[in-house]
Amino acid sequence: MSQNNAKQFDDLKRFEAKLNAPFQSLKTSFRRDQVWPFLMPNETKANIDKNILLYIEGLNLSFDGFKALNDLNLYINQGELRCLIGANGAGKSTLMDVITGKTQCDSGQVYFGQNIDLLKQDEASIANLGIGRKFQKPTVFEQQSVFDNLELSLKANKGVLPTLWAKITPLQQDKIQHVLSIIGLSKQAYQLAGSLSHGQKQWLEIGMLLVSEPRLLLVDEPVAGMTPQETERTAELLTSLAGERTVIVVEHDMEFVRSIANKVTVLHQGSVLAEGSMQEAQSNPEVIEVYLGEEAATPAPKVKNPIDKANNNKVSLIADKGVKI
Ligand code: ADP
Ligand code: MG
């Protein structure tokens, strides 16, 4: 073949390839072993091969120029019980808002396992992935029984309205009984939720999350307003939930944090200031400076109601450190 002919042949081949391209991709799409992208299931199972359930990297969020989250990095292991502490305004709730899809961040990454990009999901899909959040104020249906609250929550989670009127299956009934025993409300199952104590309502609300078998539980200030006995019981409850599930707790009551935390993360001005055991955090000069204040240096006298203690803590923070509340 002359050089001229060879070039013409190449051109012809290229032209043919170009003509065939759309048909090729069509052919590929129709291959029996090929799944069309739009038919591919959304990834719903977090890959935790590296034992990390939640990856947060370089998270930033500003409100009118104020950095609520500032290059925040946080890694939570599967089965961990992690406490998040920090003065009011440190960014704890905002962080939970971003993880649960309530608020969008400006930049950064949030992954559930190694594979699920939470920033690409909306609030409902994040909940469906197994991330449950308990807000500070309990929001139970006061006029319904404890059992009915759990039943409604179980059905509502299915996301299909007709199931609300369907009878629950024996399996679902067992699941509710199991959750009742975990939250310690088996005896109160047929009592109106409105008649429960504040602490019991908080446990019921945790139970309402548990019926949908979450992998990650985010709990915001669970013991505020609880009696010392209720606080102790909540510590036991949250500790028992970790392991099988992963739990992140935001709390102001340092005694409570001390009683449950293996590892605490101290947030300050939207960033992680320190991370480690409570003992390490307590002896970290920066943490003492911005958050723990004198409480860490000299243990405060025992206060009966932890909310008083939390408030004392806040007051001393304003007075001594000028930290924004
Ligand atoms: P924490 O839970 O640690 O007390 P937050 O996450 O609630 O702190 O708040 C962090 C900072 O971001 C605070 O200064 C708060 O005023 C601010 N902030 C939070 N949400 C908003 C919002 N929607 N608009 C403006 N500022 C906000
Ligand atoms: Mg908060």
Which residue in 238, 257, 244 sits closest to 183, CA to CA? 238
pLDDT tens across 143-166, in order?
A: 999 999 999 998 876 555 555 667
At 219-232, the pLDDT tens digits run 999 998 899 999 99
Element (H, E) at 210: helix 198-210
Q: Distance between CA atoms of 102 and 124, rounded to whole angstroms? A: 10
Q: Is 86 in the pocket of ligand 1 (CB under 6 A)?
A: yes
- Please tell me the predicted confidence (pLDDT) of residue 304: 37
Radius of gyration of the chain (CA): 26
- In the reported structure, the alpha carbon of residue 89 is separated from the centroid of ligand 2 by a whole-number distance in angstroms of 7
Report CA 134 to chain centroid distance, whole Å.
Answer: 9
Query: What is the CA(103)–ligand 1 centre distance, in A?
Result: 11
Annotate 224-260 with DSSP letters as a single string: TT--HHHHHHHHHHHHHHBTTBEEEEE---HHHHHHH
Measured in Å, residue 36 CA sits from the centre of ligand 2 at: 44
> In sequence order, which residues have a C-beta less than 8 Å from that of residue 57 and are 6 or more positions away?
73, 108, 109
Which CATH code for domain 52-140+196-321? 3.40.50.300
For residues 56 and 110, is the Cβ–Cβ distance under 8 A?
yes
* Tens-digit pLDDT profile for residues 163-221: 566 788 899 999 999 999 999 999 999 999 999 999 999 999 999 999 989 999 999 99
Query: In the beta sheet, which residues pair with residue 265?
Result: 84, 275
Q: Which of 61, 63, 66, 93 to mutate to test the pocket of ligand 1 (most atoms within 8 A of CB)?
A: 63
Q: What percent of the chain has pLDDT over 90?
A: 58
Give the position, in ligand 1's atom list, of the atom nearest the Cα of 250.
Answer: 2
Ligand 1 within 6 A of 306 CB? no
What pLDDT, in 10s, does the model give residues 273-298? 999 998 898 889 988 888 776 454 44
> How far is 84 from 169, CA to CA, in rounded Å?
38
Mean pLDDT along residues 103-107:
97
> What is the distance in A from the centroid of ligand 1 to the CA of 15?
60
- Protein residue with its CA nearest to atom 12 in ligand 1: 68
Task: Provide the pLDDT confidence category of residue 255 given band limits of 50, 70 and 90.
Answer: confident
More confident residue, 106 or 315: 106
Q: How far, in Å, are 44, 152, 174, 183 from residue 156 at the CA level?
A: 19, 6, 17, 20
Paired with 214 in beta bridges are none
Distance 101 CA to ligand 2 centre (A): 16
> Is residue 136's pLDDT more than 90?
no
268 lines ligand 1 (CB under 6 A): no
Buried b (16+ CB within 10 A) or exposed e, 87-105: bebbbbbbbbbbbbbebeb
Q: What percent of the chain has pLDDT over 70?
A: 74
At 38 the pLDDT is: 54
- Indicate the pTM of the whole model: 0.78
Shortest-distance Cα residue to atom 15 of ligand 1: 89
